C-alpha cells in the first residue's frame, strides 16, 4: 500500500473519530442540561409504559415505537413526558411529542393550526368543529369543542401563523406535537402546555370521564385487537400457496355485528437454483432464497352470499350496467348476473361513484377479501366502512330472497 493511501485512510479514520467524539460531547452536554432542570432521561423506554395514550397520533397503525423519553414536573407541579413516537401505516408518524398531566380524564378532542391530525376520523365518528384565531378544535360534542378551543388557545400563542402544530386531549393527558429538542425551547413549550392543562382542568366538572384502561388499542375501533400471529388462518384464507415457511405477522382482528375481520401480513419463502460461471471456464449451481410478503384483509360474514366481485381479483363473468361512468370505474363480475343487477342498483352505483373505494373486493360464500397493497390499518378502516356501506345498501328483497335477516346497519 502506498504512503498516499495510508495517509488517506488515516485521515478518514481521524475524521470519523472526531465526528464521534463531537457527537458524544454534545450528547453529554444535552444530558447535563436536562439534569440541571431536574428532568430524567430514558434512552430505551418501553412501549408498554405508554399504552394509556390511545388518542391520535396514538392508537393508530402498527409497529409502534417510543424513544428518547424525558420526564419531569412543570413549574405548577404537573407531570410531563416528552418522547419520540412512531408508527407505520397511512401517512406514518415519527415526531417528538409532549404530554402534560390533567387533573381528571376528559373525552377525546383535538386542536390544530393548519391540518387535522391523521386518524381522527377512524371508525367514522360524528365530529364537530369550533374555529377562531387561526385555530380549529374538533370533538364529538359541539359545546365541548368550543370549550376546548377556548382552553387550549394559550398553548398555540407565539407559534406563528401557519405553524403545523397539533394538540390532543387523551384521557388524563394533553398532548402537543411536534415539540423542539432544544432544552430551553422545550421548557417554554412545557410551561405553555401546562397553562392549557390548567384551563382544561376546569372542564372536568362538566365533561369528566373515566381514565382509559391501558392497552394496545385501535382508535375508533374498540372491537379490534392486536393478535400478532395466527398461522391457522392460512389454511382457509385466499393466500399464496407456493413456497415454504409460511407465517403471519402484525395481525389485527375484529368482530362487530357478527362480522369477523382479520388483517395481517403473510410471509413465505421460495428458492431458485441458477447456473453461474465459476470464473475458470466451468460452471456451478447456486441456490437463492427469496422472501415474500403480501397483505391480507378478509371479512368473514355470519351468512353466505353469492359470488360477486367489485374491482376484485376473483374470476367470474363481467356484468355491465346502464351507467357508462360506472362501467368505466368498476368491473363487476358474478356467477349470477341477476343477483349482480339486484345488488348493484342505481342508488348503489351512485354511492360507489361518490365514495370511490380505493380497494376492490370479492365475495365468495361467507368470505369477503379486499385487495391490499400493504398491511395498513388506515386502509383496513376504509375497507370495513366500504363493506358495511355495501352490505347496508343491498335491498331488503335480496336479503329475503336469500332467506337472511337484513343487517342492523341497513341504509334505506
Summarize the confidence of residues 181-209 as an average pLDDT.
94
Separation between Cα atoms, residue 275 and residue 278, nearest integer Å: 9
CA dihedral for 333, 334, 337, 339, sign (positive or negative): negative
CB 59 within 8 A of CB 218: yes
SS (H, E, C) the chain: CCHHHHHHHHHHHHHHHHHHHHHHHHHHHHHHHHHHCCCEEECCCCHHHHCCCCCCCCCCCEEEEEEEEEEEECCCCCEEEEEEEEEECCCCEEEEEEEEEEEEEEEEEEEECCCCCCCCCCCCCCCEEEEECCEEEEECCHHHHHHHHHHHHHHHCCCCCCCCCEEEEEEEEEEEECCCCCHHHHHHHHHHHHHHHHHHHCCHHHHCCCCCCCCCCCCCCCCCEEEECCHHHHHCCCCCCCCEEEEEEEEEEEEECCEEEEEEEEEEEEEEEEEEECCCCCEEEEEEEEEEEEEEEEEEEEEEEEEEEECCCCCCEEECCCCHHHHHHCCEEECCHHHHHHHCCHHHHHHHHHHCCCCCEEEEEEEEEECCCCCCHHHHHHHHHHHHHHHHCCCHHHHHHHCCCCCCCCCC
Residue 241 phi, psi (nearest 5): -105, -20
Per-residue confidence at 117, pLDDT binned at 50, 70, 90? very high
CA 353 – CA 289 distance, rounded (Å): 44
368-390 residue pLDDT tens: 999 999 999 999 999 999 999 99
pLDDT digits (tens, 9 = 90+) for 51-110: 999 999 999 999 999 999 999 999 999 999 999 999 999 999 999 999 999 999 999 999
Predicted confidence at residue 156, as pLDDT, reads 82
Instruction: Give the three cell numbers for residue 120.
Output: 381522527
The Cα–Cα gap between 104 and 93 comes to 27
Torsion sign over Cα 376, 378, 381, 387: negative
Using alpha carbons, select from 262, 264, 267 the residue that is nearest to residue 246.
267
pTM of the model: 0.87
pLDDT at 9: 57
Residue 218 has pLDDT above 90, yes or no: yes
Q: Is the pLDDT of residue 211 over 70?
A: yes
Q: Is the pLDDT of residue 256 over 60?
A: yes
Convert the pLDDT of each residue in 293-322 to its tens digit. 999 999 999 999 999 999 998 778 999 999
In this prediction, residue 173 has a pLDDT band, given cuts at 50, 70 and 90, of very high
- In this prediction, residue 20 has a pLDDT band, given cuts at 50, 70 and 90, of low
| Burial per residue of 224-247, b for 16 or more beta-carbon CB atoms within 10 angstroms, e otherwise | bbeeeeeeebbeebebeeeeeebe
Contact between residue 146 and residue 130 where contact means Cβ atoms under 8 Å apart: yes
Classify each residue of 21-36 as buried b or exposed e, where b means 16 or more C-beta atoms within 10 Å of its C-beta.
Answer: eeeeeeeeeeeeebee
Q: How confident is the model at residue 21 (pLDDT cuts 50, 70, 90)?
A: low
How many Cα neighbours within 13 Å face the side chain of 26? 9
* pLDDT tens digits, 347-356: 999 999 999 9
pLDDT of residue 133: 86
> Which residues does residue 112 pair with via DSSP β-bridges, in sequence order?
136, 166
Pairing of strands 259-277, 283-310: antiparallel
Per-residue pLDDT tens digits for 175-186: 999 999 999 999
Q: Of 178, 125, 134, 128, which is closest to residue 152 (Cα–Cα)?
A: 134
| pLDDT score at 159 | 65
Give residue 10's pLDDT.
53
Q: Name the residue ranges covered by the structural domains of the chain.
A: 36-207, 225-402
- Tell me: the pLDDT tens digits for 132-155? 988 999 999 999 999 999 999 888
Average pLDDT over residues 206-213: 95
Average pLDDT of every residue of the chain: 91
User: Residue 287: what pLDDT?
Assistant: 83
Amino acid at each position: 500500500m502506498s504512503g498516499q493511501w495510508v495517509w488517506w485512510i488515516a485521515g478518514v479514520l481521524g475524521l470519523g473519530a472526531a465526528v464521534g467524539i463531537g457527537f458524544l460531547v454534545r450528547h453529554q452536554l444535552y444530558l447535563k442540561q436536562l439534569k440541571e432542570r431536574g428532568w430524567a432521561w430514558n434512552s430505551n423506554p418501553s412501549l408498554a409504559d405508554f399504552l394509556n395514550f390511545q388518542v391520535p397520533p396514538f392508537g393508530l397503525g402498527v409497529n409502534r415505537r417510543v424513544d428518547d423519553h424525558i420526564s419531569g414536573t412543570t413549574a405548577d407541579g404537573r407531570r410531563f413526558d416528552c418522547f419520540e413516537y412512531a408508527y407505520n401505516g397511512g401517512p406514518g408518524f415519527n415526531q417528538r411529542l409532549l404530554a402534560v398531566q390533567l387533573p381528571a380524564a376528559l373525552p377525546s378532542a383535538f386542536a390544530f393550526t393548519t391540518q387535522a391530525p391523521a386518524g381522527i376520523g377512524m371508525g367514522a365518528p360524528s365530529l364537530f368543529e369550533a374555529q377562531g384565531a387561526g385555530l380549529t378544535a374538533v370533538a364529538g360534542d359541539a359545546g365541548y369543542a368550543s370549550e376546548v378551543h377556548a382552553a387550549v388557545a394559550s398553548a398555540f400563542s407565539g407559534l406563528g401563523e401557519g405553524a403545523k402544530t397539533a394538540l390532543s386531549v387523551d384521557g388524563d393527558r394533553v398532548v402537543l406535537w411536534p415539540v423542539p429538542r432544544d432544552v430551553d425551547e422545550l421548557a417554554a413549550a412545557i410551561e405553555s402546555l401546562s397553562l392549557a392543562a390548567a384551563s382544561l382542568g376546569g372542564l372536568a366538572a362538566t365533561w369528566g370521564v373515566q381514565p382509559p384502561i391501558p392497552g394496545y388499542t385501535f382508535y375508533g375501533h374498540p372491537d379490534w385487537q392486536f393478535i400478532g400471529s395466527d398461522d391457522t388462518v392460512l389454511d382457509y384464507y385466499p393466500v399464496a400457496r407456493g413456497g415454504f415457511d409460511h407465517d403471519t405477522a402484525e395481525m389485527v382482528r375484529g368482530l362487530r355485528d357478527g362480522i369477523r375481520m382479520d388483517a395481517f401480513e403473510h410471509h413465505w419463502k421460495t428458492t431458485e437454483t441458477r447456473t453461474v460461471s465459476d470464473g475458470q471456464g466451468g460452471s456451478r449451481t447456486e441456490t437463492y432464497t427469496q422472501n415474500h410478503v403480501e397483505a391480507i384483509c378478509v371479512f368473514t360474514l355470519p351468512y353466505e352470499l353469492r359470488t360477486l366481485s367489485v374491482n376484485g381479483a376473483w374470476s367470474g363473468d363481467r356484468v355491465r350496467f346502464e351507467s357508462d361512468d360506472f362501467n368505466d370505474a368498476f368491473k363487476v363480475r358474478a356467477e349470477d348476473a341477476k343477483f349482480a343487477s339486484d345488488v348493484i342498483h342505481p342508488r348503489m352505483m351512485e354511492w360507489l361513484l361518490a365514495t370511490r373505494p380505493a380497494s376492490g373486493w370479492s365475495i365468495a360464500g361467507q368470505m369477503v377479501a379486499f385487495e391490499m397493497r400493504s398491511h395498513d390499518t388506515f386502509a383496513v378502516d376504509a375497507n370495513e366502512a366500504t363493506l358495511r356501506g355495501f352490505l347496508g345498501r343491498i335491498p331488503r328483497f335480496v336479503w329475503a330472497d336469500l332467506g337472511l335477516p337484513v343487517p342492523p346497519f341497513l341504509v334505506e
